[in-house]
Amino acid sequence: MPHDETAGSATPTAPPRRRPPGVRIALTLTVIALLAGSLVGWLLSRSPDSSPGPDTPSEAAATTAGSPSPGGKTVDAKPPHPSRSSGAGTDGPLAGKVIVIDPGHNPGNFQHTAEINRLVDAGTHRKECDTTGTATNAGYTEAAFTRDVSVRLRALLERRGAKVSFTHDGERPFGPCVDERARFGNNARADAVISVHADGSARGNRGFHMILPGLVTAGTADTRRIVGPSRELGEHIAAGFARSTGSEPSNYVGEGTGLHVRKDLGGLNLSTVPKVFIECGNMRDPEDADLLTNPRWRQRAAHGMAAGLQSFLVK
């Protein structure tokens, strides 16, 4: 009669054959080794030191496949999709801090020139809602660059415990306008705001620079409370950016300091919280363009910004 595991059987069966002691010991040691390896792998995956180094793409960006740009350079085929706002981290050096990232321009601005040419309040005057931004000679746009770097930066800041928000996340066809970008940081009561850009200057003009708000007390602008903190924020980010990327401060603006004060930008004039712009390099210079189109360099750029933000916010 065949043995049925679902019912008892009175038919006697032969006792199971026992393995030699040496085989049992070897199997036991193998099982212990497998369990120990699994435990170590799990602990490493939970370690805060497992975050990527300066040359490693962030988790969000690493999911994006690379493809050659029109000039043959490898750039991200499609920047990873950032969320408008993240939840606050529960631990880390930036826990409790609110940071707003403003990715400069919008890929859709090119198709909405009438809308972005509409004049809006810039504090002391009226100016265009937004601009298209610049691009490399091979066609890699500033809007694509700023969004990619912003996503990488967000991942780094969130791992340090910060609550991070974006002024836009690709959900709108163009914009937002410069006055709305300023209000976003104000309404979030951000501890710091960084607007990410790349410049479009002449060939031979190289390097990065921070744009800082000047002292403005006219019209709807009053920057008295943020001029000092914004300058300090800019100095910290400039130092972190230079260390992480190896880039030099701009050779064409800021007199070698990497710091440039402006009073004509609505995004700064209308801000009530510490805010800076960073021009990461010149897209129209071939050497800078080689850096800006390199995903590994963009990851280092994000690391530099994150380090600067942290050193400013944690004292």
φ, ψ of residue 26 to 5 degrees: the values are -65, -40
The owner of tokens 């969004």 is: 147
* Amino acid identity for residue 261 in this structure: V
From the list 115, 248, 279, 287, the catalytic residue is 279
3-class DSSP assignment, residue 163: strand
Cα 51 vs. chain centroid, distance in angstroms? 14
Cβ proximity of 280 and 292 under 8 Å: yes
The owner of tokens 């490693």 is: 56
DSSP symbol at 171: -
93 prior amide bond cis, ω within 30? no
CA atoms within 13 A on the CB side of 259: 15
Residue 191 CA: distances (Å) to CA of 165, 169, 233:
12, 20, 10
- Per-residue DSSP letters for 198-215? EE---TT---BEEEEE--
279 catalytic per annotation = yes
- Residues linked to residue 196 through DSSP beta bridges, in sequence order: 103, 278
Q: Residue 32, exposed/middle/buried by CB under 10 A (0-12, 13-18, 19+)?
A: exposed
> Catalytic residue numbers?
279
